[in-house]
């Protein structure tokens, strides 16, 4: 652990990863964040800056990432982990009411790739804070979509049956 803690952007990544891993591991029932707001401004004191908000109550990136994660996973049920290992984490949540799946994926490495199944509905991809990109279906080019992953979790929403396939060093 860095004696000066982590940056606010890194805190946002780690917060979402913690909650998703907790849900997907099926071993953690509840998580309580230590404090809503930072208790001080001393970056060298790890206990001072662990809140979702700064001491003046202005929201940090983690606050926004947490809010978006709860909106994305609200009412959804964990279905399976397509990858849950050293190279890639890809966890699938289902929404039977909308007949769609949401895949949350990231890698602890600088970069990794997964192939995501696509249907005629297309895929909606979101970053940690909700920026959306729609990927239309094309049988040849996007039927099995290569998706680059980084350390920041992404959300991929598609038709029920959404699946991610990981290959070691695929060389795409």
Count of domains for the chain: 2
Over the stretch 140-162, which tens digit does the pLDDT of each residue have? 888 899 999 999 999 999 999 99
Cβ 16 vs Cβ 128: under 8 Å: yes
Domain boundary among 36, 53, 72: 72
Domain boundary among 16, 45, 72: 72
Nearest to 8, CA basis, from 53, 75, 74: 53
Give residue 29's pLDDT: 84
| Complete edge-to-edge strand list for the sheet that includes strand 89-95 | 77-84, 89-95, 100-106, 154-159, 123-126, 132-135
Say if residue 107 is in the same domain as residue 141. yes
Cβ 11 vs Cβ 19: under 8 Å: no
Cβ 136 vs Cβ 158: under 8 Å: no
**Is 21 within a domain?**
yes
Say if residue 130 is in the same domain as residue 152. yes
**Is 55 within a domain?**
yes
Say if residue 89 is in the same domain as residue 135. yes
Over the stretch 17-47, which tens digit does the pLDDT of each residue have? 999 999 999 999 888 888 888 887 776 666 7
Provide the domain limits for residue 134. Answer: 76-166
Alpha-carbon distance of 126 to 149, in angstroms, equals: 12
Q: Is the dihedral of CA 123, 127, 130, 133 positive or negative?
A: negative
**Is 2 within a domain?**
no
**DSSP letter, residue 65:** H
The whole-model pTM stands at 0.91
Say if residue 20 is in the same domain as residue 34. yes
Location of structure tokens 């070691």: 168
**Is 172 within a domain?**
no
Say if residue 85 is in the same domain as residue 25. no
């Amino acid at each position: 652990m860095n004696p000066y803690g982590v940056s606010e952007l890194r805190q946002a990544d780690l917060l979402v990863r913690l909650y998703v891993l907790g849900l997907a591991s099926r071993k953690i029932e509840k998580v309580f964040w230590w404090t809503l707001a930072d208790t001080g401004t001393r970056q060298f004191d790890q206990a001072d800056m662990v809140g979702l908000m700064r001491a003046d109550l202005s929201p940090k990136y983690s606050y926004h990432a947490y809010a978006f994660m709860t909106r994305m996973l609200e009412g959804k049920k964990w279905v399976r982990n397509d990858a849950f290992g050293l190279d890639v984490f890809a966890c699938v949540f289902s929404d039977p009411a909308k007949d769609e799946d949401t895949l949350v994926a990231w890698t602890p490495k600088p970069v990794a790739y997964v192939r995501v199944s696509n249907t005629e509905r297309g895929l909606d991809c979101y970053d940690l804070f909700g920026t959306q990109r729609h990927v239309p279906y094309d049988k040849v080019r996007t039927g099995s979509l290569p998706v680059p992953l980084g350390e920041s979790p992404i959300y991929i929403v598609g038709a029920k049956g959404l699946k991610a396939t990981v290959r070691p060093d695929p060389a795409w």
